[in-house]
Chain A
């Protein structure tokens, strides 16, 4: 059955990896994604406050990038003090 809107009962399926995290970490991920172009974008869908869906091949890379980003925000005491 077709209508002007296309099939009202159509369902779209996408495979990927669902990331569950706190909202701060999610914002960092969004930021990382916005820095990338074309095929290097890893985000498939911004789901809600604490979830995003990403491409499977980027999982390990994302974990490392996030750690690096968090490391930048950590105060490290100067050992000479």
Chain B
């Protein structure tokens, strides 16, 4: 048996797809049409944030080309990237793919191996305005006109408020799954409905899935996976669930999405006027308040403060947002004997750890536990994968862990987690139809035929067995009968 290589989970492509914190947003935007982008790019804030979300190379090329009146040409891109002039058009296309997907550039074939990319007028105009401070769409928010002596909350207060509101929702999700019962306030009904629609929580007593009892909802495996994501990913996922729910109600989502980007460009500690900044998305803004994205001094006031959850949305650089709470997030020491020391007193983090760690000792600022088979396997039964546990452990590793030679997590533990994961599904089951042959000729013909039709599951030549997909049974039977007749009449 070939031993699989576990220690480099990064090398397998499936794990790298979800690495970007804006993966949920990207997936949403990739499915939108030209007209949707035209509407989005009316807002300067959207143009700026979309530019920031691009990978560095296309981002630089777009910026270089911003003030030009000519369409971008492939030869220019090639010389800018110092590529060989003979480089195939597909390669250049691949590099610029993110910009093409966002409809910033439109592909246009000029002649063989030459291409023009005219840029989207709305985007060009929006980005120029964003950089020069022109434009009239107020997409960066309109400051609230308040009295000079009015008291405003400090940045720390806003951060604490946002953190508390969002963690409250996460805590509620964890506690529903564990039944450890720390006193958590139930989030508002709208929040719970969204959690239900997005499939993060379900009501197990509700068979149809239509009329959930919001008080009896428990977390799903998708919900557990959500908990292990980093904050930025969680925020974008929630926003995208919100947006999809809006679309399901056949409401227009472009304005709401452009509001998300506007919030992302706002400044922490500054107050804005709701009615002037987002005249068309006031109800959506109210909904966001429930997740802690904005803070309002009183429920119906026109004044609002974006919290750090909102202002960090579009920073474009994931590391920058992490640094804010980096010290708090890096609290885990994992030893090669599977012991875990967590220097934290955060209830949410402890509850999450409790999902897959056997917690032995709790001090006010330290939790000691052990990764053991029983707890890890019960976590895996809830739908958490080994890769998620590993990425959680490494993203929360204590600075001390970096002092030992890499890799950060000891291979023993990483491999063991993967082995526990493997153990659950050692059997791969698939429905099949077995064909047993006596004639080698007929066997080989049928094998070729079923291979050509992608119907073959397994072929065992020395016993003359063929295993085919059940839905292709009728077609293969016809083929075999026809072939039988030909062979028999051959005598």
Interface residues of A (CB under 8 A from B): 1, 7-23, 25, 44-45, 47-48, 51, 53, 56, 59, 62-63, 66, 70, 74, 76-77
Contact = CB atoms under 8 A, between A and B. Distances in A.
Given A9-B442, A9-B487, A13-B477, A56 B427 contact: no
Contacts of A10: 438
B182 interface: no
Contacts of B457: 18
A9 B488 contact: yes
Interface string B36-55: 00000000000000000000
A62 B429 CA distance: 11
Interface of B: 1, 372-374, 423, 426-439, 442, 457-458, 460, 463, 465, 467, 470, 473, 477, 480, 484, 487-488, 491
Contacts of A25: 426-427
Contacts of A70: 423, 426
Contacts of B434: 13-16, 18, 44-45, 53
A73 to B, nearest CB: 11
A66 B428 CA distance: 13
Nearest to A12: B436
B465 A17 contact: no
B473 to A, nearest CB: 8
23 contacts: A9-B439, A10-B438, A11-B436, A11-B437, A12-B435, A13-B435, A14-B436, A15-B431, A15-B432, A16-B432, A18-B431, A18-B434, A18-B458, A19-B427, A21-B427, A44-B434, A47-B465, A48-B460, A53-B432, A53-B434, A63-B427, A74-B373, A76-B373
A16 B467 CA distance: 10
Nearest to A15: B433
A8 B433 contact: no
Contacts of B423: 70
